[in-house]
Amino acid sequence: MRLARYDNGRIGVVTAGGIVDVTDAAGVDPLAWPPIDPTRLVADFDRLRPALERAAAEGTPVPVSQVKLLTPIPWPNKVVAFPVNYHAHGAEMGAGYRATNQGFFLKPNSSLSGAGEPVVLPDLPGREVHHESELGIVIGKTARNVARADWKDYVFGYACLLDMVVRGREERVARKAYDTFCPVGPWITTADEVPDPTALRMRLWVDEELRQDANTKDLVLDIPGMIEMASAVMTLYPGDIIATGTPEGVGPVVAGNKIRIEIDHCGEMIVDVVQGTGGRASMFEEPYQLVKKA
């Protein structure tokens, strides 16, 4: 099943004919604050699935192009991100560490956005904002100290994810925490519809230029290892999102660009890049130039 969140927070099932509204069957109040109902939907999915399937079969589909796609899980407990998790990306960045020995960091919920929303660049003269294409893993049930062999039991589904970053040497979280710096979408594809998540091709284009082309089989710390590591340190909850790390080919984006990310079985997400007016902070006052390693 492909579950989307759209327009003013409604829930839809994406079918061959378009998106079908299943908000009522999902038990979601689009106007609730905080917007935790989509997280509850993930937690209660096994119980709700028959009703969702009936609603999807009986409803009238609307073309996906006619709705505004939002981030599927706007209020997860956390977004867990693994840095430098492809050897080639580590080499291009001159990083001597990898996710296996560096661990992970957290991105704020406020950085989440959807396929129908633009990436808003902060006003930071002398700084570049770079794209990083990643697979997003949505946790399906409470997980603590998960054995590597049991990782599939805890995955709800998968999505395309962009981990946007202000390039520099300041704290990683601060450089990745701006609003709209974590687009997720276009929807969540449930795990049963992704045959082998450990061998998914992922590509990213800026406008018509292909910049990133990799496969999850080349991850340094693989998906079972990420779930094992993260759950050894902290409890993972339904709706939590894991960002798997980006391959080589990261690069700058500017206002007017379109970023397109496509992952096998997960769909394609296209987001616009626009220039914002705020976001200046003293830590970013010094210009920074990335020198990629040959």
Note the pLDDT of residue 186. Answer: 98
Please identify, among 15, 40, 67, the residue that sits at the C-terminal boundary of a domain.
67
Note the pLDDT of residue 294. Answer: 52
One domain, residues 129 and 224: yes
The amino acid that residue 161 corresponds to is L
One domain, residues 18 and 58: yes
Question: Residue 291: inside a domain, yes or no?
Answer: no
Please identify, among 36, 51, 67, the residue that sits at the C-terminal boundary of a domain.
67
Q: What is the pTM of this model?
A: 0.95
Please identify, among 48, 67, 86, the residue that sits at the C-terminal boundary of a domain.
67
3-state secondary structure of 269: strand
Phi/psi region, residue 233 (left: phi>0; alpha: psi -120 to 50; beta: rest), is: alpha
Tokens of 261: 């990310």
| Total domains present in the chain | 2
Helix residue ranges, H only, the chain: 23-26, 37-43, 45-58, 87-93, 99-102, 172-175, 223-233
User: What does pLDDT average to in each consecutive run of 10 residues of the chain (294 residues)?
Assistant: 98 97 98 97 98 98 98 98 82 71 93 98 97 98 98 98 96 96 98 97 97 95 96 98 94 98 98 97 91 61
Question: What does R_g of the chain's alpha carbons equal in angstroms?
Answer: 18
- Residue given tokens 């100290």 in the structure block: 145
Note the pLDDT of residue 99. Answer: 77
Task: Supply the range of the domain harboring residue 205.
Answer: 71-277
Question: Residue 83: inside a domain, yes or no?
Answer: yes
Note the pLDDT of residue 85. Answer: 86
Q: Is the dihedral of CA 126, 129, 130, 132 positive or negative?
A: positive
One domain, residues 124 and 44: no
One domain, residues 63 and 103: no
Tokens of 125: 């003269």
One domain, residues 62 and 76: no
One domain, residues 94 and 53: no
Note the pLDDT of residue 39. Answer: 98
Question: Residue 285: inside a domain, yes or no?
Answer: no
CATH of the domain at 157: 3.90.850.10
One domain, residues 61 and 164: no
Q: Which residues is 103 bridged to in the sheet?
A: none
One domain, residues 176 and 203: yes
Question: Residue 284: inside a domain, yes or no?
Answer: no
Q: b/e string for 270-292 if b means 16 or more Cβ within 10 A?
A: bbebeebeeeeeeebeeeeeeee
One domain, residues 57 and 78: no
Q: b/e string for 55-83 if b means 16 or more Cβ within 10 A?
A: bbeebebbebeebebbbbbbbbbbbbbbb
One domain, residues 114 and 15: no
One domain, residues 50 and 125: no
Question: Residue 77: inside a domain, yes or no?
Answer: yes
Query: ∠ CA(40), CA(133), CA(170), 5° rounding?
Result: 95
